[in-house]
Amino acid sequence: REKFFGDQVFRINVRGGDEISKLSQLLNSDNFKLDVWKSPSTFSHPVDVLVPSVSLQPVKSFLKSQALQYSVTIEDLQALLDKEDEEMQHNEGQER
């Protein structure tokens, strides 16, 4: 199974068309292998993006350079996945 060690989910706040446009440059680039969890809209809603560990620094640099505010909503994705997997296996055992 694919692992997501070190990957994080960023919530990026966008206020208006200009910021959406800047963010779209980042999201449309193939370089960072970003996975958009919640897409940009034209209505200033936050955007959630899964950032692979190798892209954390460049993405942070880009966001800073474009003055785009963000927060880390999921710091350790793999930990959540491991817990989920463990619970599923435990439940399977219980049901059996």
**Contacts (Cβ under 8 Å, ≥6 apart) of 23:** 12, 14, 40, 47, 66, 68
**Toward other proteins, which CB reaches closer, 25 or 39?**
39
**Toward other proteins, which CB reaches closer, 4 or 63?**
4
Is 84 near other proteins (CB under 8 A)? yes
Is 48 near other proteins (CB under 8 A)? yes
Cβ-based neighbour number of residue 16 at 10 Å:
9
Nearest-approach distance from CB 88 to other proteins, in angstroms: 5
